[in-house]
Amino acid sequence: MPEYGTWPSVKTFNIVLSLLVSNKLFVVVHEVYGKAPNLGVEIEACTLNILIKGLCESGKLEFAFQLLDEFPKQRCKPNVRTYSTLMHGLRDKGKVDEAFELMGRTGTEGINADAVSFNILISGLRNKVGLMKV
């Protein structure tokens, strides 16, 4: 876009990142994210949540959790979507107890869990005890 004298908005940037994550192009996601400062894109919580989702989907939970440190650097705060995405990643790895611990952390950080968060934990418990889907 800069070659045309225009710069992407953060919304456009997030859409591109989201499409890359949806298509499992994680290497490209990393490259595009690295170009944000040169493109004049101010990173926001949604941007970091997209990256966290991609890391969780690619099985890189450790790196997804490391991105929590990036929020204050970008002058934004994790939100319920951030924690739900991390809980989903933990659940998918069979780490239901850790997902519950993370739920507790949301309360101490003043973030209210939503129905998505609870459904992730409930499905994790169901999987853990081997209950069949109804």
Distance CA 54, CA 31 (A): 13
- CA–CA separation, 104 and 116 (whole Å): 15
The pTM assigned to this predicted structure is 0.88
Q: Which tokens in the block code for residue 90?
A: 């933990």
Would you give per-residue pLDDT tens digits along the chain (134 residues)?
A: 556 666 789 999 999 999 999 999 999 999 999 999 999 999 999 999 999 999 999 999 999 999 999 999 999 999 999 999 999 999 999 999 999 999 999 989 999 999 999 999 999 999 888 765 55
Q: What is the pLDDT of residues 49-88, one digit of tens each?
A: 999 999 999 999 999 999 999 999 999 999 999 999 999 9
Backbone angles phi, psi at 94, to 5 degrees: 80, 15
* Amino acid (1-letter code) at residue 15: I
